[in-house]
Structure 1
């Protein structure tokens, strides 16, 4: 035999269910401005990586970034390289935070070749010395 709930118990359970349901659906259907910005940054980074053969997330003043950019411009001049200068973008710090989540690397340059995370300038230079950058391209 299934125990029955009194009408007061049913109302209480319904109120609790309604409160829980409305709270969970409100937060999932109406993202906060911060969540919207994070989603936009994630979409931007993911789309940039997927649509470009080479992507360098860089900072304009960084000597290691300059070295990585110079390697592509001198050794692979026919390869299109998408460069995102994070220090010149209003969302640069958010992009860098997402890249850290994605790659565990916080520093720049943060380099991708054919959607594969290469790492930074030291990794790129080491790959170039082994003539492996050509293979990745």
Structure 2
């Protein structure tokens, strides 16, 4: 039975509200790989609920499409990676790249845990 948009939205919202840190990602996405590498380098990736689009148990085409629609509505963009902290959209790889460029990565990553 195909999944509805409302079911996909409820599932994604449940993931976000049930986890302090969430990373929506895909293994084929270069920006996602970059974010996971940075978070691994700083030994914090294991603190995130990592939602891998390709491996998600409800990873049907309908579910993936609906999630992108919800991401667009909730965050203003449907491209991954997307980071959430304490149930609030935080940013994408652009935020992480900015921190690295300005040598503020360590300081800002530590804010996730305080």
TM-score normalised to the size of structure 1? 0.65
Give the conservation status (yes or no) of the 8 Å contact 1:105–1:119. no
Where 2:73 maps in the other structure, the secondary structure is helix
Which aligned segments of 4 or more residues in structure 1 are displaced greater than 6 angstroms? none
Alignment-derived partner of residue 52 in structure 1: 19
Give the conservation status (yes or no) of the 8 Å contact 2:72–2:78. yes
Unmatched 5+ stretches in structure 2: none
Where 1:84 maps in the other structure, the secondary structure is strand
Unmatched 5+ stretches in structure 1: 1-32
User: Which structure: larger Rg?
Assistant: 1
Within the candidate set 59, 67, 71, 2:34 is matched to 67
Where 2:79 maps in the other structure, the secondary structure is coil
Within the candidate set 88, 111, 114, 1:135 is matched to 111
Equivalent residues, number: 104
Distance 2:4 2:99 in 1: 35
1:1-137 equivalences under 5 Å are 37-77=4-44, 79-88=46-55, 89-90=59-60, 91-127=63-99, 129-130=103-104, 131-137=107-113
Where 1:133 maps in the other structure, the secondary structure is helix
Q: Structure 1 127/85 Cα, relative in aligned 2: closer, same or farther at 3 Å?
A: same
Where 2:78 maps in the other structure, the secondary structure is coil
Q: Which has the higher contact order (CA 8 A, sep 6+)?
A: 2
More helix by share: 1
RMSD: 2.2
Report the Cα offset of residue 109 of structure 1: 0.5
Report the Cα offset of residue 111 of structure 1: 1.1
Distance 2:40 2:85 in 1: 15
